[in-house]
Structure 1
Amino acid sequence: MKIKVLGSSAGGGFPQWNCNCRNCDGVRRGTINAARRTQSSIAVSANGVDWLLVNASPDVLAQIAANPELQPARRIRDTGIAAILTVDAQIDHVTGLLMLREHATPLSLYTTDAVWEDLCTGFPIGPLLFDYCGFERHAIIFDGGPLLLDALPGVQIDAVPLTSKAPPYSPHRTAPRLGDNIGLVFTNRASGKRAFYAPGIGVIEPPVLDAMRSADLLLVDGTMWTDDEMIRLGILQKRATEMGHLPQSGPGGMIEVLDSIERAGVRKVLVHINNTNPILVDDGPERRTLSEHGIEVGYDGMAFDL
């Protein structure tokens, strides 16, 4: 089972186009040691040829260009993307569907009912794209057993519901529903190796912690370093937890959660990193703190083989 991080940033990318925080200004000017990043997405394959795209980032075209396996050029029109799955309906995870509208056949799309409803109402990509390539939509449900995709032979996918909010545009923003946000457990059925992917985690509930403790690879929410990060910088009057993200530092933060996972050989990797997060600075004190706890910072192009 192969996993590639296509995009490791949160919404807006890094640097964010209109932001002049220390990180964004520094990476533009070359005054900090940090790498540019595209928006949140991974790709998963069983054979290195057919890939499941997990989240369709607004940067999907740049991500395809940076990962030749997603454009194998076997015929006049071609793609290595065999199916698409979105963990939520956030703008940074679904807008890329519009960029894939020239697909020769309907896109094979896996979503929960809650996400599909948002994509047909508040942000109606579904109806819009039916005038282009359209969708072959597959429902992700929580009581029907694991997902087994033809495109991923030998790989089992289990969806884990996460407590979060629907996107700001959603008619259900203030009334959370089952399936607004999910984490994913990918299991190589031959080796038994598991990966857990959850770019947005607001609350660590028992099923989430169980999924994390059973995994050999964790790709989890690294959005913000502190809960009040955006407030202190004068950017937004909202805490990380209000936006559905568990900060890394502080009591009950992601560092503390990951420290509690003692599975031998597990790799702990942060993804979905906001442009304001100081862990983006390669030689900064926050990065050293993470290293002391055995936690890695994800980057575009990072690859794993389980």
Structure 2
Amino acid sequence: VTAFVVPGKVPLYAESGPDPAAIVENGETIGLAISDGTRQALFIPGCARMTDSLRARLRGADLVFFDGTLWTDDEMLRAGVGQKTGRRMGHMSVSGPDGTIAAFAALDVRRKILIHINNTNPILLDDSAEHQAARDAGWDIAFDGMRIQA
């Protein structure tokens, strides 16, 4: 298991200073590369944006578990359950031109699973258009008790 830096930010409770919402790549947010020497899984439960170095790490991976917190940046605001956007909390949206689906489109990852999904995210509803859009883009959607077979 190897830890690596992912674009993110400090947790909301630890914010301070002149730019508390700054996106940084200083180890505040990490991913894990798990390998048996032949195959590799990447575990990235939080990610604020896609970067060239992250693309290079992801390209051709066997399995990626990736931050699926929100479908849209303002989802929690619109649902009336939060006062911050996903971006402000350090999460990419799954949808949109800068979202996870678009960012992974050309990375040739063999299996992609959205994790760390907020309860406001409509991908959790099997009959939603968002769920189908994620599935059509080649994503699995994690669920409680999910098992991965090699």
Matching residue within 42, 45, 51 for 1:196 = 42
5+ residue gaps in structure 1?
A: 1-156
Q: Say if 2:144 is the partner of 1:296.
A: no
The structure 1 segments of at least 4 consecutive aligned residues displaced by more than 3 Å after TM superposition are: none
Matching residue within 39, 63, 66 for 1:217 = 63
SS at match of 2:65: strand
- Flag the 1:219–1:205 CA change in 2: closer, same or farther, 3 A: same
CA contact (8 A) 1:202 1:241 kept: yes
Task: Please tell me the residue identity of whatever aligns with 1:181.
Answer: T
Q: TM-score, normalised by structure 1?
A: 0.45
Give the aligned partner of residue 83 of structure 2: 237
5 Å matches for 1:50-61? Answer: none
Give the aligned partner of residue 261 of structure 1: 107
Superposed displacement of residue 247, structure 1: 0.4
Superposed displacement of residue 196, structure 1: 0.7
5+ residue gaps in structure 2?
A: none
Q: Say if 2:123 is the partner of 1:275.
A: no
Larger Rg: 1
Identical amino acids, percent of aligned pairs: 38
SS at match of 2:148: strand
Q: TM-score, normalised by structure 2?
A: 0.88
Give the aligned partner of residue 45 of structure 1: none
Aligned length: 146
Task: Please tell me the residue identity of whatever aligns with 1:226.
Answer: T
Superposed displacement of residue 288, structure 1: 1.0
Give the aligned partner of residue 35 of structure 2: 187
Superposed displacement of residue 287, structure 1: 1.0
CA contact (8 A) 1:194 1:214 kept: no
Query: Structure 2 CA distance, aligned partners of 1:285 and 1:229?
Result: 15
**1:199-248 alpha-carbon deviations (Å, 9 max, x no partner):** 10101112211221141001000000001111112222321111110001
SS at match of 1:208: helix
SS at match of 1:204: coil
Task: Please tell me the residue identity of whatever aligns with 1:207.
Answer: S
RMSD: 1.9
- Flag the 1:235–1:228 CA change in 2: closer, same or farther, 3 A: same
Give the aligned partner of residue 159 of structure 1: 3
